[in-house]
Amino acid sequence: MRILLVEDEVELAGALRVALARRGFVVDWVPDLEQAWEAVREPGLRAVLLDRGLPDGDGLRLLPVLRRLADPPPVIVLTARGQTTDRVEGLDAGAEDYLAKPFELDELLARLRVVMRRRSGAAPEPLVLGALSFDLVHREARVAEVPLHLPRRELAVLELLLRRAGRVVLRETIESAVFGLDDAPVSNTLDSHVSRLRRRLAESQARVGIHPVRGVGYMARAE
């Protein structure tokens, strides 16, 4: 099984590569985001082990790149940032799992097995809210079986909000999931995307509302 390790701590990366190789993994290693963006496009990649504190930015900024791939590999975040808010941010951004440093190798191996079982198992159920359904495999939104054609960023915002329907998703979490390194939003860019998404949902009679929580983020709920 081929996996990508994105980690800037040389000693830790070396130890992980040796330990994982002994257990049958082929490990590609890169120390920063710039090299990771190219590495994730290599064929045959089955999983990504991703540090957050990289020299050129937060590792979570790799996740939007992965989502644009035809078959994105699952991501396990490995990081010293282990607070609850950090974990929530990582999972909301699209990571399959989140493991705080220091960790035991056996736990990492167990979590790798879990994400591989998820990937090889049955297709995930669509997200359903109001009259709207979201196919997680094909990343397609439908209202009463009629496709709802959305631009890429609005689709990404919608998916993130539906995954946490009824709960507030932080602005920073949405922005990190939707915008790339070279596409940093200005102050009202996210609001503009949400406004257009809200209008499209209303016009299609999706019966889904997107509600702002001032200074915090957004929440989706059935209307």
The token duo for 221 is: 């709920």
What is the spatial distance between Cα 68 and Cα 58, in angstroms, rounded to a whole number? 18
Query: What's the confidence (pLDDT) of residue 181?
Result: 41
Cβ(87)–Cβ(98) below 8 Å: yes
Query: What's the confidence (pLDDT) of residue 204?
Result: 94
Cβ(171)–Cβ(108) below 8 Å: no
What is the spatial distance between Cα 93 and Cα 107, in angstroms, rounded to a whole number? 22
Alpha-carbon distances, residue 81 vs 8, 90, 177 (angstroms): 15, 10, 18
Main-chain phi, psi angles of 59, to 5 degrees: -60, -25
**Domains of the chain (ranges plus CATH)?**
2-120 (3.40.50.2300), 127-222 (1.10.10.10)
Per-residue pLDDT of the chain (223 residues; tens, 9 = 90+): 678 999 999 999 999 988 887 777 778 899 999 999 988 987 778 899 999 999 999 999 999 888 888 888 899 999 888 788 888 888 888 899 999 888 898 899 888 888 877 765 555 678 999 999 998 767 789 998 899 999 878 888 898 899 889 999 988 888 876 764 445 566 688 899 999 999 999 999 999 999 999 889 999 999 9
Query: What's the confidence (pLDDT) of residue 59?
Result: 93
